[in-house]
């Protein structure tokens, strides 16, 4: 019997997991979402056929990816966009769409062989995009299992992204409404630090933004707290 693991700490991947479990009911499906459960000893007991990784914020040890078939889903058209904070780095660079790349986890950051790529729109809030990406990842996993896809090496010039830091979400030095809107929406998701402004005593965090081009304004919710 095939044993498949879906590794993600994000709630928006739960629906995809249950849909896969229902569609491929002849296989044994396991959802791992806690760091302490994802270790070599536990995986030896499970002996998974494949480990699908839609979202994982931690380094995967070599003893795991050397011994198990680990497939990570990265939100760029690799080798463009290797590295951290792919969604935010894409939006900051003006991209309106991207591709999700399913790659074999190997030594090196996002350097593994490609199984498959699929299109993803970058319109909406980060929460909207992540939910949409979960639906795309679900279809990609379907294809990988049904077609027994073999990965091939990446082709093209590599472009690396740096993981963005919370302080880079400060709106203070932005000049256009479009850039402010992009900053707010690209960070508007569970678990991400919101775009913000600060005074000497207070911090203003923004979310649920809507851009009104006719009025040349942005409507957004704000959370105000003491520094």
- pTM check: above 0.75: yes
Is the pLDDT score of 215 beyond 90? no
What pLDDT does 213 receive? 84
What pLDDT does 219 receive? 96
What pLDDT does 214 receive? 83
Place of tokens 């009911």: 25
Question: How does residue 142 score in pLDDT terms, banded at 50, 70 and 90?
Answer: very high
Q: In 16-135, which ranges are E strands?
A: 28-32, 50-55, 70-74, 80-83, 97-104, 114-121
Question: How does residue 57 score in pLDDT terms, banded at 50, 70 and 90?
Answer: confident
Terminal Cα distance for the chain, rounded? 55
What pLDDT does 222 receive? 97
Q: Beta strand 159-161 with 80-83: parallel, antiparallel or unpaired?
A: parallel
Segment 28-49 shows an average pLDDT of 95
Distance CA 70, CA 163 (A): 22
């Amino acid at each position: 019997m095939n044993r498949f693991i879906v590794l993600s700490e994000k709630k928006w991947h739960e629906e995809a997991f249950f849909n896969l479990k229902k569609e491929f009911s002849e296989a044994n499906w396991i959802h791992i979402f806690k760091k302490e459960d994802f270790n070599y000893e536990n995986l030896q007991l499970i002996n998974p056929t494949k480990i699908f990784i839609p979202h994982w914020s931690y380094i995967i040890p070599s003893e795991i990816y050397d011994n198990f078939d680990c497939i990570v889903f990265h939100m760029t058209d690799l080798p463009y966009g290797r590295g951290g904070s792919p969604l935010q780095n894409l939006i900051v660079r003006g991209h309106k769409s991207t591709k999700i790349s399913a790659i074999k986890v190997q030594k090196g950051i996002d350097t593994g062989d490609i199984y498959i790529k699929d299109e993803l729109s970058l319109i909406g809030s980060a929460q909207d995009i992540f939910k949409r990406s979960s639906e795309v990842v679900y279809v990609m996993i379907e294809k990988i299992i049904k077609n027994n896809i073999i990965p091939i090496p990446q082709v093209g010039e590599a472009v690396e992204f740096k993981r963005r830091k919370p302080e880079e979400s400060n709106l203070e030095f932005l000049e256009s409404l479009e850039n402010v809107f992009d900053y707010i929406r690209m960070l508007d998701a569970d678990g991400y630090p919101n775009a913000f402004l600060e005074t000497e005593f207070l911090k203003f965090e923004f979310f649920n933004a809507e851009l009104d081009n006719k009025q040349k304004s942005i409507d957004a919710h704000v959370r105000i707290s003491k520094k």
